[in-house]
Amino acid sequence: MIFLIEYNRREGHIVTIRTFDDSDKRKAEQTRLEVELDLHGKRVDHEIVLLEAESEEALRLTHRRYFEDARQIVGSTQAEKK
C-alpha cells in the first residue's frame, strides 16, 4: 500500500493522508507532485511524502513522527525499556 501524507511541520500533525494500491504508484507520484505544486503556489510550507507499507499500522510503527508528538514517542520508548 502507498500512503501520501501532507504533514504540517510547524504544528506537528497530519493534514491529509491518502492511500493508493501498490499498482497505482504512478498515480500516487502524480498526485504528490500536484499537491506539492498547489501548496507551493499558495506558499504553504507542508511536507509531502509518499511512503510504502503493508498497512497503516505498520506505517505508524516505522514513521511514528507523523502520528505522535515527541512527548508520546519518548514516553512509549521509556515504557518499552521497563
pLDDT at position 41 is: 95
Q: Name the residue range of residue 71's domain.
A: 2-81
Cell of 14: 497530519
Task: Say if residues 6 and 14 touch (Cβ distance below 8 Å).
Answer: yes
Please give the average per-residue pLDDT across 5-33, as a whole number: 95
Do residues 34 and 48 lie in contact, with contact meaning Cβ atoms separated by under 8 Å?
no
Left if phi > 0, otherwise alpha if psi is -120 to 50, otherwise beta: which for 4? beta
* Top-confidence residue, 19 or 73: 19
Count of positions (residues) in the chain? 82
Q: What is the pLDDT of residues 29-76, one digit of tens each?
A: 999 999 999 999 999 999 999 999 999 999 999 998 898 765 655 555
Mean local confidence (pLDDT), 6-10: 93
pLDDT at 80: 61
Evaluate whether 27 touches 9 at the Cβ level (below 8 Å).
Answer: no
The domain tally of the chain equals: 1
